[in-house]
């Protein structure tokens, strides 16, 4: 699988500018999801919404820290190439992306049951915020899946 | 990464008896999930339940076919070692495990809102079947994730 070439050429792995953009996008989307869900909306009466807030509270510091690491690596032009740290990043990314997907799906299905079936009443202003929050969570999941794939691709070459 | 050793030693990859057990478990759990959700219960009024039935309708033939392939490989003692086919299996496993996780989470959150919040009424007999169906879907997701990890591990050594 082109071992020699893959070492420094994987775009989107830790320490590249593409990875910095991915991490920044994750942090922005998950913060937006958290803000739309928690500000001015009563989220604490539904388990799925509380779960989304919890997961986003885990994803935001993770993405933000890794964005800082990537930004520093790009600035000093010295990418991170230690298998142990990379393994921790890959495992953390996988776990968080699974949790984010679960939270996004749960939120979406609760919003769907509020809108269509004979579920609990939901004022239109709240419902649109729930919907935006779920969409942001899906975007954050997609970016997180992308970074974990890129890092997993780099892992065997170390 | 111990290249020479990894070739035939990965337990759970395509063509081993561990993989046969995993596939059989996936087929059994997803069939149980489908049966508990669709027989004698009105599932078609909720989007999440319809989605679960659709996804299980995809997972069952996939797992069953791969269980047959694995069983044949074990019997003739000739494991499948073609990168193209293995890549298709890995990608299909990932996609199906993501879909299964999404379906299981959606079903669980709908069941939760039926039980606790002021949601739509759910007769106790139906509710327990919904719960069992969601649990079976989670088990099927877990086994599917395990097989896709084992096959992904084998992929770079081909």
Token couple for A152: 């997993």
Average pLDDT over residues A70-90: 84
Give a yes or no: residue A103 inside a domain. yes
Q: State how far the Cα of B64 lies from the Cα of B155, in Å rounded to an integer.
A: 22
Cβ of B54 under 8 Å from any chain A Cβ?
A: no
pLDDT of A67 strictly over 70: yes
Model ipTM value: 0.81
Closest CA to B140 of B32, B7, B49: B32
Q: Which of B90, B100, B113 to mutate to test the interface with A (most CBs of A within 10 A)?
A: B113
Containing structural domain, residue A61 = 15-146
Residue in B closest to A141 by C-alpha: B98
Q: State how far the Cα of A141 lies from the Cα of A136, in Å rounded to an integer.
A: 9
Q: How close does chain B come to A109, measured CA to CA in Å?
A: 5
Token couple for A125: 């202003």
pLDDT tens profile B64-104: 999 999 898 888 887 777 888 888 998 999 999 999 999 99
Cβ of A47 under 8 Å from any chain B Cβ?
A: yes
Give a yes or no: residue A19 inside a domain. yes
Across the interface, which of A105, A117, A119 has its CB nearest the CB of B106?
A: A105
Give a yes or no: residue A83 inside a domain. yes
pLDDT of B7 strictly over 70: no
- With 0-12 CB in 10 A as exposed, 13-18 as middle and 19+ as buried, what is B135? middle
pLDDT of A82 strictly over 50: yes
Average pLDDT over residues B34-46: 80
Closest CA to B115 of B131, B95, B97, B98: B131
- Give percent of chain A with pLDDT exceeding 70: 89
Q: How close does chain A come to B7, measured CA to CA in Å?
A: 15
Q: Per the CB < 8 Å rule, is B45 touching A117?
A: yes
Give a yes or no: residue A10 inside a domain. no
Residue bearing the bigger pLDDT, A67 or A41: A67
Q: How confident is the model at residue A59 (pLDDT cuts 50, 70, 90)?
A: very high
Q: How close does chain B come to A57, measured CA to CA in Å?
A: 19
pLDDT of A1 strictly over 60: no
Token couple for B38: 């669709």
Residues of chain B neighbouring A83 (CB-CB closer than 8 A) = none
Number of domains in chain B: 1
Q: Which of B91, B94, B106 to mutate to test the interface with A (most CBs of A within 10 A)?
A: B106
Residue labelled with tokens 């388990």: A47
- Give percent of chain B with pLDDT exceeding 70: 89
Q: Which of A101-115, A120-134, B56-70, B74-88 has the highest mean pLDDT?
A: B56-70
User: For the whole prediction, is pTM greater than 0.90?
Assistant: no
Return mean pLDDT, chain A: 84
Residue bearing the bigger pLDDT, A121 or A53: A53
């Amino acid at each position: 699988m082109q071992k020699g070439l893959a070492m420094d050429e994987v775009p989107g792995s830790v320490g590249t500018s593409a990875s910095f953009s991915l991490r920044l996008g994750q942090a922005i989307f998950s913060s937006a999801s958290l803000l739309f869900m928690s500000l001015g909306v009563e989220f604490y009466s539904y388990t799925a919404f509380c779960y989304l807030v919890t997961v986003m509270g885990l994803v935001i510091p993770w993405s933000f820290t890794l964005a800082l690491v990537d930004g520093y690596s790009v600035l000093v032009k010295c990418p991170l190439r230690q298998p142990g740290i990379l393994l921790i990043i890959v495992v953390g990314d996988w776990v968080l992306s699974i949790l984010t997907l679960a939270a996004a799906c749960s939120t979406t299905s609760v919003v769907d049951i509020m809108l269509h079936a004979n579920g609990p009443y939901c004022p239109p202003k709240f419902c649109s915020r729930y919907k935006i929050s779920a969409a942001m969570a899906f975007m954050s999941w997609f970016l997180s899946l992308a970074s974990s794939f890129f890092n997993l691709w780099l892992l065997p070459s170390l």
